[in-house]
Amino acid sequence: MNNNFTAEIVIGLEIHVQLNTKTKLFCGCPSQGSSEPNTRCCPICLGHPGSRPVLNKEALQLAAKFCLAVHSNLASQLIFSRKSYFYPDMSKNFQITQFEEPLGAGGKIFLKSGKEIGLIRAHLEEDPASLSYPLSLKQSSYCLIDYNRSGNPLIEIVTRPELASPEEARDFLNQLISILTYLKIFDVNNGIIKADANISIRESGYIRVEIKNITGFKELEAALISEIARQKQLASEGKKIQQETRGWDSNTNTTHLMRTKETEADYGYIIEPDLPIIDIDTEFKEKLQLEIPELAQEKIKRYIRTYQLDPVDAEVMAIELELAELFEKVIAQVKPQLAAKWMRKELLRVLNYNKKSIRDLKFNELELIELLTLIEHHKISDTTAQKIIEELMVKAFSPKEYVAKNKLEQISDDSELRQFCRKIISENKTAVEDYKSGNEKSLNFLVGQVMKLSKGKASPQMVSELMKEIIK
């Protein structure tokens, strides 16, 4: 690894993602389900004597798909190792993981800014059990162990230390989750993502500190900000930064010392003798490659190129798969630029307000196409459109029928509007003269008069355009 750092801040991430399989990595226990402790266990994930692991084919396929999608080199053989360490959450006091040769070597993920973040490796491993405590971590005289999680399939992704800020780290995680959800290998609702981070700063000569057990990307950004602040503080006081491992405590928003490098366990790696070698041949790779859809980054480029979308709109439309799919269905009938702008501004607003996600929508593209078509043809006002989308959050209905029933349709007929305009123009000669001599406010007044005359039913945008045209 290249240690010639020059950046002010150097961050590398080790991310553990729970793969979206039905069962655990080495046994048939469900990887999701009952949260009653110790109800999704068997002799294998409990490490009972005489039990032995058998690899879940689906886990391998999902992990390999990820590696291909991020342009890693896929190993030609899958080999597992035993990593020995003793801890109450380890059912065998060794973890079956990959040490000698990871499933995927190298690879890259692009940030929103276009910056390329290199990956060192991605590999398969099993999750330990979950620990909880009767009181706080330090106060408890014992721990409580639940093996439901023990044996869950994880992919560990290790980045090169090429992230230069907590914001970049957060964006990286965002991009990663987009890829994972596009490939359907991570369940955003139920799956868990954990990260360990390695951080160093220029002022200390890049002494590396590891922060462990950060769950979720808000926590990641907070943990990084906190740790960088701590290191900068020490450096400014002229104190030396120790190479150590710290744990993140989201309750106090601080990191605390876990252990110094010297006391790190000797993992005593051996090849896992109970798992035979798995061949990863060209046929396997090609089949998986075909299953990889167009990912977010490619969609963004395509949306900008083909539909001339605003880059910000394009990014928002593309980053979440379900939204992209909805968008692509909608633009079969609606102008893309309008759809993107409106969906970004109004649809997402309403989703965020209701704390819901695209998956929770009660309507689909048909209703949205109807609504957007009405907007496109100026048949309804902005306010009406907003009301309709709010109502659609509750249940699906036809916007067209709703508008007709409630007589919400704007007047958008050209000749009718022109008639109104001419009438107002003829009745308000002073205002027209004012506008001609440069007073924009007079235009608004004239448009307002048309609105009054039409009892609010005229399309203000169209009236404004027509006014300008007629006055000329």
Rounded to a whole number of angstroms, the minimum distance from the CB of residue 309 to other proteins is 38
Rounded to a whole number of angstroms, the minimum distance from the CB of residue 123 to other proteins is 17
Q: Which is nearer to other proteins, 265 or 394 (CB)?
A: 265
Rounded to a whole number of angstroms, the minimum distance from the CB of residue 58 to other proteins is 4
Tokens found for residue 400: 């067209």
Burial 408-442 (b: 16+ CB within 10 A, else e): bbbbbeeeebbebbeebbeebeebbebbeeeeeeb
Rounded to a whole number of angstroms, the minimum distance from the CB of residue 30 to other proteins is 5
Q: Which is nearer to other proteins, 51 or 357 (CB)?
A: 51
Which residues are near other proteins by CB under 8 A?
A: 21-23, 27-30, 36-43, 46-60, 82, 84, 86-88, 91-94, 131-132, 137-138, 140-147, 265-271, 273-279
Rounded to a whole number of angstroms, the minimum distance from the CB of residue 13 to other proteins is 24
Rounded to a whole number of angstroms, the minimum distance from the CB of residue 277 to other proteins is 5
Rounded to a whole number of angstroms, the minimum distance from the CB of residue 105 to other proteins is 20
In this structure, what are the phi and psi dihedrals at residue 390, rounded to the nearest 5 degrees?
-65, -40
Q: Which is nearer to other proteins, 57 or 184 (CB)?
A: 57
382 Cβ contact partners less than 8 Å away, ≥ 6 residues apart: none
Q: What is the spatial distance between Cα 326 and Cα 311, in angstroms, rounded to a whole number?
A: 18
How far is CA 439 from each of CA 184, 432, 445, 467, 472, rounded to the nearest angstrom? 57, 9, 10, 14, 14
Q: Which is nearer to other proteins, 155 or 317 (CB)?
A: 155
Evaluate whether 22 touches 58 at the Cβ level (below 8 Å). Answer: yes
Q: What is the spatial distance between Cα 28 and Cα 25, in angstroms, rounded to a whole number?
A: 8
CA-CA-CA-CA dihedral for 140, 141, 144, 150, to nearest 10: 100
How far is CA 188 from each of CA 15, 176, 320, 326, 378, rounded to the nearest angstrom? 15, 12, 11, 18, 38
H or E segment to which residue 24 belongs: none
Beta bridge partners of 17: 155, 193
Rounded to a whole number of angstroms, the minimum distance from the CB of residue 55 to other proteins is 5
Q: From the CA atom positions of the chain, what is the Rg in Å?
A: 29
Rounded to a whole number of angstroms, the minimum distance from the CB of residue 59 to other proteins is 7
Evaluate whether 346 touches 316 at the Cβ level (below 8 Å). Answer: no
Q: Which is nearer to other proteins, 47 or 106 (CB)?
A: 47
Rounded to a whole number of angstroms, the minimum distance from the CB of residue 133 to other proteins is 8
Q: Which is nearer to other proteins, 133 or 353 (CB)?
A: 133
Q: Which is nearer to other proteins, 38 or 289 (CB)?
A: 38
Q: Which is nearer to other proteins, 30 or 293 (CB)?
A: 30
Q: What is the spatial distance between Cα 42 and Cα 272, in angstroms, rounded to a whole number?
A: 20
Strands 116-126 and 193-201: unpaired
Q: Which is nearer to other proteins, 55 or 201 (CB)?
A: 55
Rounded to a whole number of angstroms, the minimum distance from the CB of residue 198 to other proteins is 20
Rounded to the nearest 10 degrees, what angle do helices 217-236 and 166-182 cross at? 160
Q: Which is nearer to other proteins, 146 or 365 (CB)?
A: 146
Task: Compute the C-alpha angle 333/335/337, nearest 5°.
Answer: 145
Evaluate whether 79 touches 49 at the Cβ level (below 8 Å). Answer: no
Cα dihedral 350, 355, 359, 363 sign: negative
Q: Which is nearer to other proteins, 80 or 206 (CB)?
A: 80
The number of beta carbons lying within 10 Å of the beta carbon of residue 381 is: 20
Q: Which is nearer to other proteins, 59 or 241 (CB)?
A: 59
Rounded to a whole number of angstroms, the minimum distance from the CB of residue 15 to other proteins is 23
User: In 231-336, where do the E strands start and end?
Assistant: 244-249, 254-260, 270-271, 278-279
